[in-house]
Structure 1
Amino acid sequence: MKIFMNRPIPHFRMVRKLMIIMKLTWILLLAGMLQVSASVYSQSVKFSFNMKNQKVIDVLNEIETNSEFRFFYQNEQIDLNRRVTVQTQNATVEEILKEMFEGTDISYSLKEEKLVLLMKGNSLNSNTTKSQQDKKISGKVTEQSGQALPGVTVMIKGTTQGTVTDADGEYSLSNIPERATLVFSFVGMRAQEVVVGSQTIINLSMQEEAIGLEEVVAVGYGTIKKSDLTGSVTQVDADIYKRQPLTQVTEMLAGTVAGFRSTQSTSAAGGSSMMVRGPNSINASNSPLVVLDGVIYNGDISDINPADIETIDVLKDASSAAVFGAKAAAGVIIITTSKGYKGSPSINVSMKFGISEARNKGFLVRDEDNFMEYRKNFFRTLYGSQPDYYWFNPNDLPKGVTLEQWRMASSNPNPDDTREWLSRMNFFPDEVKNYLEGNSVNWAKETMPKGFRKDFDISVSGGTDNLTYYWSIGYLDNEGIIKGDKFSALRSRLNNEYKINDWLKVGVNLQYAFRDESTVTANIGEAGVQSPYSKVFNDDGTINWYPYGYEVSRNPLLNTFGQDRLRKVQGLFAVLYSEITLPYGFSYRFSFQPHIQNIKDYNYWSPDTYVGSVSYANGRIERTDYSNYEWMIDNLIKWNRTIDKHSFDLTLLFNAETNSDWNSYMTNSNIQPEPVLGYHGMQFGIYPAVFSDDTKVTGDALMARINYTLNEKYLFTASVRRDGYSAFGQKYPRATFPAAAFAWQISRENFYNEDWFINRAKLRISWGRNGNRSIGAYSALSALSLNQYYDGSQVQMGVNTSRLANNNLRWEETESLNIGIDMGFLDNRFDLSLDVYSMSTTDLLVKRSLPKITGFDNITTNIGQLHNKGFELTLISKNINTPNFLWKSIFTYAMNRNKIVELFGDKGEYVLEGKTQEGEIPDITNQWFPGKALDVIWDYDIAGIWQLGEEEEASKYNLKPGDFKARNLDDIEKYEALQDKTFIGFKEPRHSLGLMNEFTILKNISASVFLRADLGHLRAFPYSVRGWSMFDRQNSNNYPYWTFENKSNEYPRLNNNLASFGGGIMPYKPTSFLRLQDVTVSYNLANAIGEIKYLKGCDIFLSARNLFTITNWPGWDPESGNSPMPKIYSAGINFTL
């Protein structure tokens, strides 16, 4: 990159000083990276020029083109258009500069590396400065949190004498002039000046700049300054999340990026689906592509340790993601891990301990009193022949009802009133026994104990002139909130880079993960149908299969005692690369990325448990062995050059890949003579079965991208990628994906006054087309299956075609248009980004059902069109920024709407919502409706509950008080799906909001508070429409159901009638919520206790996740729906040596 941009520097004193400091900062940072002695290089590189009557600028450009020298100067001090003649043979750069500037007042200085500083006067040449003293200054520079800050430029004001802080944030300067002032500067921080005076040690805590525009974000196959972006990219700094109890990467992103959707997981292993800007496909994957340290990553995201992550960049628009072509239609997540820095070794240790418990645990089961009330109300609303008081507790009869009346309601009452009542409640003998003995079970406590987690991480980083290194290892042991749910992982990373010489460097990024997912969990579904008057264990200590004596309802802990499981996952991912620096601004990078994954999943079910609904005598064994090997190569050529007002950045790519899977499955049962070996005794069963499935796919790609900047105001990006993939049909194995983008730095125009209220403004427009190749390896090919048939005398084997080929199967393509604007307010104290987008996906990859007459169930084909549009807003503000108090906020908002434009193309008349309509026929089975959203809900519109006094009207529909009352659309007194079902809402949020607040108090205390909201969507609530019988306990329906006393107009009676609703009925409830998702407080102990030898930093912290949720959702949790969400508390310590 060329240092000098030939445009006038603004004549504002502070701006000019800031720009000088920024340039010096860049130079000195670059100097710290190159690690080569200037004197050695400058003497070893020779030039032979014959340039007559050429401009100074042309000579400097020629030197830069033919070497690694870079010049730094201000054009207002140097006459760049002055004509000079340079005729040399094997001359050094010093000799050429001496000849060029002889007789002028321009001096030059070679600073540490291949950097030449030019300035009017001789102040640059430290060798000619005679007024310097022997005084020495040293100190340490930190962030406001107290963490050491490496790479800070420390300059003596008015000179070019300076240095850069090392990995520990420390610096040292000698020969300090009298009345000197030190200038500290760092990208993203406010430049600060300190008068030296009589001080010999100057420590400084740097304050963040209002908004960091020069921060670097990752884009496809490279990085770019945030201010130079033409597309829609959001960066997440992982540092603030490292004190939180995270299991995997997706937990960092839930709610933090506008337009990115990731729901929290409820399991110990974590993991959730990810989606960027809504769905772009009906059947194919809507998950974004993951890029790890600059290369495509197809491994399990659970293998990436969150503690290793430096930043996460989310590429949302087509032009940003188009360089990844066939894999990028759903967006791109770029993860950058930590690297080493030059300096002494730094050892970081982090330890976290946590405890988790279920939110809303009371939803699972009722206590004893509520259970008895529930049983009473269940029978009361059966509308049987018994009087209402028949079901009441004899010790709590309705007013006016005598005990004798109550007893006479039975033809042959039990002499014991309590036993009589329990009989009426249809109690089983075991329940009666436990009730009378006072025995009860809290099934929520039995199946959902508190979970504990332990998380340990250690890393070592550092470097020398020719080597940087980073190594880490982390161990996580996490228990979930459901009994038996557990997850552990050992994850390690090595990032090393070696500088062989001035033009060659090589590196390795290595990731290894070992995960133990050998979990067998309690069945909370079974727990929801247990009576509290049960026994978990028999008197002899064995598991009680049927806790209350009913042989349909099994013990929810049964499998945790009767199933033995081993599931171990190992993954190895590596990036081996070399980079060559070529003349004329070119560079070449070759990388090889192998990925290996092995999974062992072994299960043994003893005779004392069930496999599904079957119990196997002498047990059952299943063993799955899965292996995956993938390799990928990237050949990357880059060219970067600045010529006058023009900057060019060219990227060329050739990519190739192969992915192979081997899957073997074995099973056996009735193990002889005894199943004492568990899953090791596969060969001893008498019903063996073996299955194997191996697949292989290949792909390749060519890509070209050019970034062009004119006068730092007008930014252009254009790219094209050509992809090939073996899974598509013979006619369309390849596709081309172009993209283009433009950005206009409005505030850099001469007419724009940067002192205005809106001091910065940039307009962005991008267009592009990306692809989706998420189909099976052989989806375009026909498949053969073995079948048996009987020929009249014996069983024969035959082969038949089980899948229809499709040679025309082609790529699913998404075309996208994005328009955005970035604005800074009040000297960039507030940063606002707005984006609107429109996307259209064609040739949707769908498994289309076929008529039975064809002999096939379906065929993978391309159909229809899906449209997607939305709006996003991100506001970053520095609310308060003082030395003792910093308050920063990040607010995000996103809205997405989608619509099925076209489906199968079959047109005609059809009945929907009680009307005969004409147009494209919908797919009722999959609930796909042309013209409607993909997530639209089609069901009966429940208008309330039939109440007492409405018996006559309800009876017309064969319903009774307490049953659902739905809108009748065709005025026929019968509920039919096509006639009366309508569109009642949407499954995905209509609006998503997030608010992160970060605080730093008195330099030692840091805190973050994250609020998140999803609004406007619905979710099915099946608990109020479950099947019922007199024997079922259904004890999980802990909601205010309809009774004669509680005349709810929202929840039906326990025994509500569903048969009268054609096609079935499902109530949907609002799942909008506002959640306090994360709270973290940390204290910088190192700052508080002062300097300790070998201790570079230490902080202790507390964190809580999912502290509270405001919602009207009646079930477990509005985000997880019908499973419990954990509330997690953790504490930890982090220290650096």
Structure 2
Amino acid sequence: MGKRVTLFITMLLAISSLAYAQDIVVKGVIKDKQNQTLPGASVLLKGSQNGTVTDVDGNYSLSVPNAQAVLVFSFIGYGSQEVIVGNQTQINITMAADQRSLDEVIVIGYGTQKRGDVTTSIASVNTKDIEERPILQAAQALQGKAAGVQVTQPSGKPGAALSIRVRGATSVQAGNEPLYVIDGVPTMDTRDLNVNDIESIQVLKDASSAAIYGARASNGVVIITTKRGKANQSQVSFGAYYGFSNIAKKIDVLNPQQYAALMNEMGNNVTVGNETTDWTKEVFTTGQNQNYQLSFSGGTDKSKYFVSGAISQDDGIIKPASYKRYSFRANLDNQIKSWFKLTTNFSYANAKIRDVKDNNNAGRNAVVLGTLGAPPTMGIYSEHPVRGTIFSTNPLKAGWDNPLAAMFGPTQATKDNRIFGNVIGDITLAKGLFVRSNFGIDYMNHSNDYYLDPYRTTEGWGTDGNTHGFANATRSNSFTYLWENTLNYEKSVEKHNFSALAGTTVQKNNWNNSYIAGRDFPADGIVKTINAANEITDAYTEQSEWFLNSYLGRVMYNFDSKYLVTANFRADGSSKLAKGNQWGFFPSVSAGWRISAEPFMQDVKFINDLKLRGGWGQNGNQEGLANYASYGLNRYTRRTATTPPSGPAVTGPEYAPNPDLKWETTTQTNIGVDVSMLQGKLTLTADAYLKKTNDLLLNVPLPNTSGYSYIPRNSGKLENKGLEFVLSTVNFDKSDFQWNTDFNIAFNRNKITNLQLSKVYRYADVEGRSDQIIILQEGASLGTFYGYVSDGVNPETGDIIYRDVNNDGAFTPQDRTILGSAQPKFTYGMNNTLTYKSFNLSFLFQGSQGNKAFNASRLETEGMYDSKNQSTEVLRRWQKPGDVTDIPRATDGNVNNSLISSRFVENASFLRLKSATISYNLDREWASKIKLSRASVYVTAQNLLTFTKYKGFDPEVNAFTSSGATLGIDYGTYPVSRAFVVGLNVQF
């Protein structure tokens, strides 16, 4: 009997196996919730390449191997669905709006959260186009992409840092840049980060989202997560691009004949000889951009890896300015035990920067204004009876080198070696209870060497002919370590979801620096190190350190993702402040209400998700504080040695000590709404905020009788308030053609609301003028221009008419007034992506409206007071009584017609086509034939078009970056270039 049963069972299994071995044909139709068919929807057999797409009527037919097969249904803009075939041969699908954006897990401070449950203002930046744009810094990926995040490129010099303002500037003398957190390690500099390694970027904009970072978060927090390997998905990726760049706009200057006529009009005897030079053509050349990236990723469920290496180079449009970087990254994930995971992030970068001098006048060897101001009647080289062929100098101005001498005379290079990374241990103590320990380091080795050839340049010899070359060398090391320990608890009971976080963190930095300078080098110029100098002119070493100790906590609760509450708290203690003021406390709270989940919204079909949220919190600004800001430090100056030696003389403290000094505190309130409509085809986010900074750090001037020049003091208040809107739309979505648009716009108003003790501060000196360009006073914004009002040119005298503002009948300094502000009324960005079959077109517009710029370059190019060449604008100059023009007469040595005035304040609003890319993706079937999983080629134009009324090279400029008050000043700044690149991306 048993044998018969066994035989019967065996036969059943065999029949079952045979049945499962036969293919099953599954058919069906795919529709949306409006009962409209979806042509071009994808149907894929999970775990294979077997699949199909629906026809024009939404129908499909697919053969599957057995009843255990799983079909994956997907369509752009809709959530994917998985269905087990079983005994079904007809499977009809109704697809709902894509809710993945709500269920997507995003990175927040010290953790993650579902996007739909976020109660704060966080901007997620799409990084998909990074690999198709010639960008070298992470900040460039933010330009035009996030509302309220203003990214400007104050200089086009290769390797120059970008400037980021999150909801406006919050400080005058402390830092205004956001805090960056890369894979859990905070830093203030991301220039060494390979942008192709970036997986995601989140910007914490309001205080309730950033308060978990406490004393460093008043300017916002940018969280960057790098790429990681995926289990059972081994992949090799290679990307390369090559391109060229050129100057986007020229400023025309006088030709030799026009220049000679102007000089002779000014009383100088200038003739046009055989030697003439077009300095703009000689200086502004074609730059080159290139990048090569190779990465490997993959692994198993227990061990995953991502390893990458890249070489990036940017040769500027003004030689020899260049930036070259070698970078390497290794990200490892190891599940050592079921309860223990070890994560390692390691990166190394080697960067070399060659600089050229800008942001100064032509007489200080600043190349940009030197190019515009160099006499066109002068040749590049001249013969010296002793030194032979040397760079020529301005014959009308002794000691002024030509711009090529400023470019190629010095040998200069900056080298940085940086190691950055961390090791994270995650331990599961019990269900829902986790502990994390994070140890990170940031080590920077910096060197700078400068050598001025005594043989090839005039400056190297000095005005007395005895300097004989000059060199200096700087060496510095910075080491920062971070150790964080956090405990996280998560618990869900039916519809109640709760999580709590508590932790401690310590961070310490040690920095040291050495400097030496010498002069009087051998004339052959072979040895360029300072050991060849006959005289050491200066030498010193210095060191400092800071320490930050913190305690943090967070509680999050939501009921069915309908009612949401989050509370944060952080306490920071800083070594930068004196006892009694070392600790700061930074709380925040936020709440959200998903209105769309309420019963009364169930009949509103066109709204898929509607959430109202609000938050309040406080942040600090520790980054702007000097390491020993509250202590009065002595200054030492070398003097002639005595016998017996007594050491250098103390010249007194630099500033008065202030034991009551504390960091700035920014309090911010935010209200926002998130809406998703029309099955996810339209999403809208709107925010309103009020951001107040108290205890504003200022260097308050003191009377000379005090013995100090100033005292650092918490001495003011500042306010930012604004509105932000983000709109994303699916404009067209068919099987062969898709078109998506992302638009953002932000309005911000910045104002100084209170100044104590000193009521007026002045910033931004320009050589040759006794006045500063910027004023800081109550009621005005940062970046406010101050000077005289120009009412045009007097037709009888040819001089500028300056307005008698105070009506006292005289022209005096009391007639100066506010001339405008560099603060924009609003900034905006719009990105469009169009896809047709295998072709993709994307273009990003970026704009700023209502901001002014002070074109200090025109002080020199339209001043007509010395021997510098001028722009062609001066061809309209006043020359005789009765001339009606806006350009005054030429003078010799008199700068009264080019005082700091409204004449040089210009409308700097602009609309820029920041990038445009067209790409082609090789058909997967063709790619697989050559052993590729993906292959694409692309052509990108960067800064292709700029629409503006600004007369300078570029409206997005700032020559003075040391202070938050000095914005929008153009003073011979290295212009931003226009770039064209062609690239290739392949995956194996």
What is the correspondence of 1:646-725 to structure 2 with a 5 Å cutoff? 646-671=496-521, 676-682=525-531, 684-725=533-574
Q: CA deviation at 1:568?
A: 1.1
Structure 1 or 2: larger strand share?
A: 2
Q: Distance in 2 between matches of 1:1039 and 1:825?
A: 57
Please state whether the residue corresponding to 2:171 is helix, strand or coil.
coil
The answer to which of 1043-1052 and 772-781 deviates more is 1043-1052
Instruction: Give 1:365's aligned amino acid.
Output: V
- 2:787 paired residue among 936, 939, 942: 939
Deviations 1:252-271 (A, max 9, x none): 11222111111124012242
Tell me the number of residue pairs that the alignment of Structure 1 and Structure 2 aligns: 905
Q: Distance in 2 between matches of 1:843 and 1:247?
A: 36
The reply to whether residue 929 of structure 1 matches residue 818 of structure 2 is no
Q: CA deviation at 1:542?
A: 3.1
The answer to which of 795-804 and 1116-1125 deviates more is 795-804
- 2:936 paired residue among 1086, 1099, 1107: 1099
Aligned to 1:967: 803
Q: Distance in 1 between matches of 2:644 and 2:66?
A: 102
> Normalising to structure 2: TM-score of the pair?
0.85
> Normalising to structure 1: TM-score of the pair?
0.74
Deviations 1:978-1019 (A, max 9, x none): 2x22223211211111111011111x1111111111111111
Q: CA deviation at 1:182?
A: 2.1
Change (3 A) 1:813 1:1085: same
- 1:356 paired residue among 234, 245, 250: 245
Aligned to 1:854: 706
The answer to which of 566-575 and 317-326 deviates more is 566-575
Q: CA deviation at 1:534?
A: 2.7
Deviations 1:1038-1068 (A, max 9, x none): 5774346996755444549653898877620
Aligned to 1:38: none
Q: CA deviation at 1:192?
A: 6.2
Asked if the contact 1:708–1:717 (Cα under 8 Å) also holds between the matched residues in 2, the reply is yes
Q: Distance in 2 between matches of 1:904 and 1:826?
A: 53
Please state whether the residue corresponding to 1:239 is helix, strand or coil.
coil
Deviations 1:594-626 (A, max 9, x none): 111101111211213326976763322211101
Instruction: Give 2:707's aligned amino acid.
Output: G
Deviations 1:331-378 (A, max 9, x none): 0011111110012521100010010001112x0534x3xx53355367
Change (3 A) 1:811 1:611: farther
Q: CA deviation at 1:1030?
A: 7.2
Change (3 A) 1:243 1:1047: farther
Change (3 A) 1:699 1:1104: same
Q: Distance in 2 between matches of 1:900 and 1:719?
A: 29
- 1:376 paired residue among 241, 251, 261: 261
Change (3 A) 1:678 1:945: same
- 2:906 paired residue among 1058, 1069, 1082: 1069
- 1:840 paired residue among 689, 692, 696: 692
Change (3 A) 1:839 1:165: farther
Aligned to 1:485: 321
The reply to whether residue 275 of structure 1 matches residue 127 of structure 2 is no
- 2:369 paired residue among 521, 525, 529: 525
Instruction: Give 2:368's aligned amino acid.
Output: I
- 2:448 paired residue among 601, 622, 636: 601
Change (3 A) 1:754 1:639: farther
- 2:401 paired residue among 554, 566, 577: 554
Aligned to 1:1081: 918
- 2:273 paired residue among 417, 430, 433: 433
Q: Distance in 1 between matches of 2:192 and 2:884?
A: 49
Deviations 1:137-162 (A, max 9, x none): 999xxxxxxxxxxxx99998xxxxx6
Gaps of 5+ in 2: 1-12, 27-40, 51-61, 358-365, 763-770, 958-969
Aligned to 1:240: 129
Q: Distance in 2 between matches of 1:1038 and 1:214?
A: 59
Asked if the contact 1:470–1:495 (Cα under 8 Å) also holds between the matched residues in 2, the reply is yes
RMSD: 3.7
Q: CA deviation at 1:668?
A: 1.4
Change (3 A) 1:863 1:225: same
What is the correspondence of 1:998-1017 to structure 2 with a 5 Å cutoff? 998-1002=833-837, 1004-1017=838-851
Please state whether the residue corresponding to 1:256 is helix, strand or coil.
coil
Please state whether the residue corresponding to 1:320 is helix, strand or coil.
helix
Q: CA deviation at 1:582?
A: 1.8
Change (3 A) 1:754 1:182: farther
Asked if the contact 1:620–1:670 (Cα under 8 Å) also holds between the matched residues in 2, the reply is yes
Asked if the contact 1:1024–1:1037 (Cα under 8 Å) also holds between the matched residues in 2, the reply is no
Q: CA deviation at 1:889?
A: 0.5
Q: Distance in 2 between matches of 1:138 and 1:702?
A: 61
Asked if the contact 2:774–2:783 (Cα under 8 Å) also holds between the matched residues in 1, the reply is no
The answer to which of 302-311 and 215-224 deviates more is 215-224
Q: Distance in 2 between matches of 1:374 and 1:549?
A: 13
Aligned to 1:134: 21
Q: Distance in 1 between matches of 2:484 and 2:82?
A: 46
Aligned to 1:898: 750
- 2:187 paired residue among 281, 285, 297: 297
Structure with greater contact order relative to length (CA < 8 Å, sep ≥ 6): 2
Please state whether the residue corresponding to 1:252 is helix, strand or coil.
helix
Q: CA deviation at 1:218?
A: 1.6
Instruction: Give 2:789's aligned amino acid.
Output: D
Q: Distance in 2 between matches of 1:886 and 1:966?
A: 58
What is the correspondence of 1:796-835 to structure 2 with a 5 Å cutoff? 797=647, 798-799=649-650, 801-802=652-653, 803-835=655-687
Q: Distance in 2 between matches of 1:258 and 1:1001?
A: 29
Change (3 A) 1:344 1:867: closer
Asked if the contact 2:612–2:672 (Cα under 8 Å) also holds between the matched residues in 1, the reply is yes
Q: CA deviation at 1:135?
A: 4.4
Aligned to 2:56: none
Instruction: Give 1:1097's aligned amino acid.
Output: R
Q: Distance in 2 between matches of 1:1087 and 1:683?
A: 63
The reply to whether residue 322 of structure 1 matches residue 322 of structure 2 is no
Q: CA deviation at 1:524?
A: 2.5
Change (3 A) 1:224 1:674: same
What is the correspondence of 1:393-412 to structure 2 with a 5 Å cutoff? none
Change (3 A) 1:343 1:193: closer
Deviations 1:375-399 (A, max 9, x none): 536766x6xxxxxxxxxxxxxxxxx
The reply to whether residue 747 of structure 1 matches residue 596 of structure 2 is yes
Change (3 A) 1:970 1:845: closer
Change (3 A) 1:488 1:605: same
Asked if the contact 2:98–2:679 (Cα under 8 Å) also holds between the matched residues in 1, the reply is no
Change (3 A) 1:1054 1:1116: farther
Gaps of 5+ in 1: 1-125, 140-151, 157-161, 167-171, 383-423, 913-922, 952-959
Please state whether the residue corresponding to 1:282 is helix, strand or coil.
coil
Please state whether the residue corresponding to 1:707 is helix, strand or coil.
strand
Asked if the contact 2:396–2:867 (Cα under 8 Å) also holds between the matched residues in 1, the reply is no
Please state whether the residue corresponding to 2:369 is helix, strand or coil.
helix
- 1:511 paired residue among 332, 344, 347: 347
Change (3 A) 1:1103 1:584: same
Aligned to 1:870: 722
- 2:854 paired residue among 1011, 1015, 1020: 1020
Q: Distance in 1 between matches of 2:588 and 2:885?
A: 54
The reply to whether residue 461 of structure 1 matches residue 351 of structure 2 is no
Change (3 A) 1:644 1:691: same
Aligned to 2:961: none
The reply to whether residue 1132 of structure 1 matches residue 968 of structure 2 is no
The answer to which of 232-241 and 1050-1059 deviates more is 1050-1059
Q: Work out which of the two has the higher radius of gyration on C-alpha atoms and give 1 or 2.
A: 1
Q: Distance in 1 between matches of 2:96 and 2:878?
A: 63
What is the correspondence of 1:973-1012 to structure 2 with a 5 Å cutoff? 973-978=809-814, 980-1002=815-837, 1004-1012=838-846
Q: Distance in 2 between matches of 1:1006 and 1:767?
A: 42
Change (3 A) 1:137 1:1008: farther
Q: Distance in 2 between matches of 1:1084 and 1:1061?
A: 56
